[in-house]
Amino acid sequence: MRQKHSNKIKTLKAWVSGLFALYALLLIPACIETSVQTYVHAKQGAYSAAISQQGDLAIIGTLKQGPLLWDIGLNQIKYSYNDERSGDIGMVDAAFSPEGEFVITAEENRVSVWSTQTGELFGDWQMPDRVRSVDISKGGRYLLAGLHDGRVLYVDLGFGQKLGVLQHQAVVESVAFSPDGLFALTGGQDKVAVLWDLESGDVARRLEHQHNVTKVEFSPSGKLVMIAEGQGTLYVRNITNGETVLQVGGQAKKGIKVSAARFSEDERFLLIGTPHRTISLWDLSTGKRIKKWRLSRKTFWKPSSAVAMAVAFMKDEPYILVASSNGLSEKFRLPRSMNYLSNSN
């Protein structure tokens, strides 16, 4: 009798699970495409991630194994950057140098620079406060580290020398080098984005906002910048004259919360990842969204959320790559009508 009752319960659970799976499938709008390929890069989820400019490498801050460098083409771990010092401290941020030869990882108050070619640790630096955001310049020579106490440290990694301190009045949320390494763009909870001349340490341009600045990004030429506010307003601006090229949200318009961003190589498009399982592609010439994708659920029948932690156009391929907090990296196809390979020469 108990066995029959147990079998009925199992059958009911299976039926309910199937119903949830069907319901979840029906909830996906027909206009939102899913991925064409999915990679499991962190079975238990990820703290943070970064993807190289070429889209061929991804660094995943796993929950248990520490930072792992993945070769996307081969879909295999190239190097594990974990060591006995990491313990249970997660990778809070990471960034590749523009050419992809180096990657920097940040764990609480420590930053490390690694070779993507040999896996070698080039250097390890203790920071005076908790790290929120990092970036590394071309050639792996210079470091920017945005700290919880409002400072941005500018460091010469070759000599291990601090070259300057760029000051915000609150937590620094995001930092970025210009492609030529001569300028830095920083944003923080003091509602300001600042363009810094790194040679002089002076403020080249100061952009006030209504809300916390949570994400900043340079275009490949350095002429355009993306600045995102925490409440959902996004701006793309010409950094030379301050002209707004694109604005999403603000003035009672529906906004978009940004967790990751990447300009296309020709600067015609902007790729945006959100904390709500969506990725969108924007045409900067028209100011319109031309494509939207949705991240996969790790367990299809179980409700789940996922943050798009890193996005990239894949070199010489009509695809984008997205790394998310659920431990998955996914490949999505660009619109066929674009007839465009994002990073091709």
pTM attached to this predicted model = 0.87
Q: How far is CA 247 from CA 27, 206, 229, 236, 244, in A?
A: 29, 18, 11, 6, 7
**Token pair in block for residue 83:** 């060591």
**What confidence score (pLDDT) does residue 19 get?**
44
Over 70: is that where the pLDDT of 28 sits? no
pLDDT at 7 over 60: no
> What are the helix (H) ranges across the chain?
2-27
What is the share, in percent, of the chain residues with pLDDT greater than 90? 72
Give the integer Cα–Cα distance in Å for 191 and 169: 9
Question: What is the model's pLDDT at position 345?
Answer: 37
Residues 59, 96 contacting (CB under 8 angstroms): yes
pLDDT mean over 177-196: 97
CA-nearest of 332, 324, 344, 345 to 40 is 324
Q: Pairing between strand 288-294 and 260-263?
A: unpaired
Q: Where are the domains of the chain?
A: 24-338
Q: What are the tens digits of pLDDT across the range 207-255?
A: 999 999 999 999 999 999 999 999 889 999 999 888 999 999 866 566 7
Return mean pLDDT, the chain.
Answer: 87
Checking if the pLDDT of 83 tops 70, the result is no
- The larger pLDDT score, comparing residue 239 to residue 33, is at 239
pLDDT in tens, 305-320: 899 999 999 998 999 9
Structure tokens at 226: 């993306």
Residue 30: is its pLDDT beyond 50?
no
Q: Which residues of 248-264 are buried (b: 16+ CB within 10 A; e: fewer)?
A: bbbeeeebbbbbbbbbb
Is 24-338 assigned to CATH 2.40.128.280?
no
Region 99-119: what's the mean pLDDT?
A: 95
Give percent of the chain with pLDDT exceeding 70. 83
